[in-house]
Structures are given as structure tokens and as C-alpha cells.
Amino acid sequence: MRRRIDSLRETLHKEGLEGYLVSNGANMLYLTGFEGGSRLLISADGDCILYVHRVNYDAAEDAVKDCEVRRVDYGDDLERVLARRIESLGLKSLGFDVMDAQTYMKMEKLLRETELKPRRDVMWALRKVKGEDELELLREAAEITSMGMEKALEIVEDGMVERELAAEIDYEMRKLGSEGTAFETIVASGPNSAYPHGGRGDRRLERGDLIIIDIGARYGGYCSDMTRTVTLGEASPRKIEIYEAVKEAREKALRIMRGGVKAREVDAEARRTIAEKGYGERFLHGLGHGVGLEVHEPPMLNPKSEDILTPGNVVTVEPGIYIRGFGGVRIEDTVLVLEKGVEVLTRAPYRLVVR
């Protein structure tokens, strides 16, 4: 954590910021190792103060090594406390990650000598390149996710309700060490599979359905994200055609991925492959997104992305085709960007018909 705070300070110096105020829980976790803080105030020249509500104070004191922990109590005016500290530290320019409008207006009024600057990009620049310690946790999250998928492919059966299969997967991943899930598990079958985020989860699986299974474990705070699409029994020629198109898009995208490549070019490669098969309009989302302490973070792989892939980025690759009323196919893996190519972190077969 010390190293991460030092990196933030380096950035602050470079960007001409005298301090930084953190309100986002994942950013606080990244910098202090503790998620339950209320605010984190860091000066470019040495102060690091984590403000923690009474309910989490003991836990914070036990967990946080590199920052001063300050208790916040019922009735304390946290903005006023912060403003006083910011003023006593003499911080003339203060970057911050997020703040709701009401808090921002209040802080503006309280801070007469300090300029507030919305700079969430400062934190993203740090977080989007993963260190070895983070990669270890991301690999474990991916491993648990892969075992969850293995379980799913083993037990998926017609007659099962979507939600029931989701629950079994979640249970399996929890037993393997997952901290809850990175997001709500999606099992979307038949016409529901045409919605990228699934339906209500109450449909019974039928033979011949396209079934999208999108899952992610969380380990040490780090997320994972993977999808397989399967069918039970026989797949119609159209389903096979869609599946093969998505699979090819995935392979082509992975083939050109490496440090230095524009994220939107990787998206374009997958999109072109799907468009050539006549389904360009049915690829309803970007090719992928960064994964870390949050399941959707920069860099983004989509047609408008300005991101350039860098070694240490961990991103999803998830082409999909969705045909309303018919069904959809998505295949997704979480991958680590390397100087030359990628390392695929999640693993499970790419097979449409499971049994």
C-alpha cells in the first residue's frame, strides 16, 4: 500500500496537485487495504488520513498500516472536518475522484483557498496497470471462476430454472473461496439469451435453448468475468453459425492483442469478423472492459475508446450476437495484456452442445 500511495504522490507532483481526496470505496481499498472508510485525504508531501465512521473504526485500525486513521462519529460534519484539515495543510489545489453535487457545492463554499479539481483519471491511471501482487489475486479469482463454469457445464439440465443454476454456480464459487460474486450471475436461456444482461431469471431451461452463462468470482477484492454459451441436445444450423462467428471474432481479437495496440482496433477486428457474417448490427456492446477491484473499469474496448492497451492491463474479450426473439451467443474470457500477446486467465471448453 505504501508503494501505491507513493505512486499517487508522484502523479500529484507531476500534475501540479497538492493533495487528493478519495471517496470511492475501491480507490480507498487500493490505497489503504481497507474498503470501509468514509474519505481518504492524501497530501502530495506526506500526510495520509483515512476518515472512518465509528462502526468501522476498529476494523480500520487493525487493517491500515500506512495512514493515520481518524474516527468519524454520528453528528460530525465530515465536510467541515475535511475542510479544516485541508486548510491547515495549506493545500491550494485538491484533486478528487468522485463527489456528489451536494457535497461538491458544500466543499466549494467551505474551501476558500483551495481549488477543487475533478481528476478521477489519476486513480484510473494507477489502477489499470496491475502489479504482481494484484495479478496473483486476479489469477485466483479467474481460477475460481473457471471451476464455477466447470460445475455449471456439468450440472446444466433441462427443466432447471435459470436462477437455480445461477445459485448452484454461486454456491460452488463461494465454497472455493469467492467473496460473494463480482456481479450478479447471469443465466439467460432461450429468448432471454438475446438480452445481453439476461431476463428475470425465472425461465425453465429447455432442450435446444441457447443458454448464456456469465459469471465472476471475487478474490482478495479482485473480480473476474467469463461467459460460455451452451445448448442441450442438438443445435440448429443457425445457432451453430452464430456460435462459430462469435468464436472466430474472439480468436481474431486475441490474435492482435498486445501492449501498444489501440483498444478500439481490437474491438474493430472482432466487429469486422461478425459483420462479415451478416450480424454486425447484432453485436450490441463493446468487445470488453478492464477488470480489477471493480468488474467494469478502464481500459475500455469499444469503437470509441481512446485507450491504448498496456502490459499489465487485465481486460475481458467478449464478442456476442443477439437476435431478438431467437436467442444470443456470447463467449468471454478475462485476459492479461502482455508485451507480446495475452495470457488468458479464465479457462473452460468452447463447445456449443454440452450433452
Instruction: Pick between residue 18 and residue 307 the one whose CB is nearest to Co ion.
Output: 307
Q: Cβ of residue 314: shortest distance to Co ion, in angstroms?
A: 12
| Least separation in angstroms between CB 316 and Co ion | 4
Element (H, E) at 94: strand 93-96
Give long-range contacts, CB 8 A cutoff, 24+ apart: 57-66: 59/34, 60/34, 60/36, 63/32, 63/33, 63/34, 64/32, 64/33, 64/34, 65/1, 65/2, 65/33, 66/1, 66/2, 66/5, 66/32
Stretch that binds Co ion, among 94-102, 163-171, 223-231, 321-329 (CB under 5 A): 223-231
Which residue number, 43 or 185, has a Cβ lying nearer to Co ion?
185
Judged by CB under 5 A, the stretch of 54-62, 63-71, 259-267, 309-317 that binds Co ion is 309-317
Interface with Co ion includes 225 (CB under 5 A)? yes
Which of 114, 185 has the CB closer to Co ion?
185
Minimum distance from residue 225 beta carbon to Co ion (Å): 4
Q: Is 267 in the site for Co ion (CB under 5 A)?
A: no
Q: Nearer to Co ion by C-beta: 60 or 182?
A: 182
Which positions from 44 through 103 interact with Co ion, judged by CB under 5 A?
A: none
Nearer to Co ion, 52 or 230 (CB): 230
* CB closer to Co ion, 40 vs 335: 335
Q: How far apart are CA 193 and CA 189, in angstroms?
A: 5
Whether the CB-CB separation of 200 and 238 falls below 8 Å is answered with: no
DSSP strand pairing (115-118 vs 93-96):
parallel
Q: Does 181 bind Co ion (CB under 5 A)?
A: no
CB of 315 to Co ion, least distance (A): 9
Spatial separation of the C-alpha atoms in residues 286 and 264, rounded to whole Å? 9
Taking the complex as a whole, the smallest distance from the CB of residue 350 to Co ion amounts, in Å, to 17
Q: Between residues 60 and 274, which has the closer beta carbon with respect to Co ion?
A: 274
**269 makes contact with Co ion (CB under 5 A):** no
Q: How many residues bind Co ion (CB under 5 A)?
A: 2
Query: Of these, 145, 229, 313, 316, which contacts Co ion (CB under 5 A)?
Result: 316
* DSSP code at position 332: B
> Alpha-carbon distance 296 to 182, whole Å?
10
Give min distance, CB of 288 to Co ion, in A. 7
Report the 10 Å Cβ neighbour count for 57: 18
Contact indicator for 26, 293 with CB cutoff of 8 Å = yes
> Which cell is 44 given?
502530495
Task: Output the CA torsion sign for 201, 326, 234, 247.
Answer: negative
H or E segment to which residue 22 belongs: strand 19-22
Give the interface with Co ion as residue ranges (CB under 5 A).
225, 316
